[in-house]
Structure 1
């Protein structure tokens, strides 16, 4: 998506050789038109797969996952990161580290919202080391549902996450692939 690349170059902030801050696009502020365009692209990429639900991890993936679910006309389910008093005691849970937050959290999905009959499309904002993605994939697998693929807005190609997910046999589609953040410059992979 050339528009997305342009916006990343204009608004992305390279924090280090490993970290790209995209608060103005994905992680703090959401551009509705750009977000809906990303959802249309994911819906196009996974058309014909029989998707019955879109899933994501709370919270930065929710906007793009919503746009994708809207385009596919299916429900969106997001894995919660915090247990509440009303949490389902029989929820599917997985413990995952968060690189950007520097903590380990539990993610969970109620069995009420994911079943063996589902064909799941997993949408996420950024894939770096892939810990959260692997955790959610484990939840999907334990539910008995079929994972038809993973769509990520930004893939950091210089980190192992996307590669390890693909090595599991999961179809992973990225809207933008970043080759490097060295020397404060965003370099895309073609």
Structure 2
């Protein structure tokens, strides 16, 4: 997606450890015009699929999932929680997820009230690196007996194993920007 690639080249910063900092437009401050264009693109890429829920993981996926929802007839957006507040009641689906960026493992949870058998779930997230967050979300959808329509990713690190991990699970993956490599502080795309 040209607008996203241009924004990454203009504002993204490559940090030590192959981390791409896009917090000025994706995961700290959000560029809503760009999010809107990404939502339209996700709808285009999944135009032949029925979607009844969009699932993401807190926190960075929530913004794009909410904006994209309007292009899928305003279906509910559900997000897996990494930490539970006192208002979380009832049974939950759980899965373990390791964050590449934060180097931390979380036990994510989704209330059984919000994803159920018969739901057609589109998973949306900001980054795909090693695929661990996506695997956790796939696990939760399958625990619920729901159908996974596919996974939409804003930025994929194509040089890491995430795509293969997802495809090995038989899940369709659509990424809006795929990074081939980082070299000398620059981003190179496929």
TM-score by length of 2: 0.96
2:69 is equivalent to residue 57 of structure 1: no
Structure with bigger strand share is 2
Is there any run of 5+ residues in structure 2 with no aligned partner, and where? none
Match of 2:158 in 1: 157
Q: Please give the alpha-carbon distance, in whole angstroms, between the structure 2 residues aligned to 1:168 and 1:183.
A: 34
Match of 2:77 in 1: 76
Q: What is the count of residue pairs matched by the alignment? A: 189
TM-score by length of 1: 0.96
Match of 1:188 in 2: 189
Task: Determine if contact 1:16/1:181 at 8 Å carries over to the other structure.
Answer: no
Deviation per residue, 1:45-102 (Å, 9 max, x gap): 1112111011100110111111111111111111111111121341101121111112
Q: Please give the alpha-carbon distance, in whole angstroms, between the structure 1 residues aligned to 2:100 and 2:12.
A: 18
Secondary structure at 2:60 match in 1: coil
Q: Please give the alpha-carbon distance, in whole angstroms, between the structure 1 residues aligned to 2:128 and 2:40.
A: 20
Stretches (4+) displaced over 4 A: none
Deviation per residue, 1:142-162 (Å, 9 max, x gap): 000000100000010010012
Alignment of 1:1-190 (within 5 A): 1-16=1-16, 18-73=18-73, 74-189=75-190
Is there any run of 5+ residues in structure 1 with no aligned partner, and where? none
RMSD: 1.0
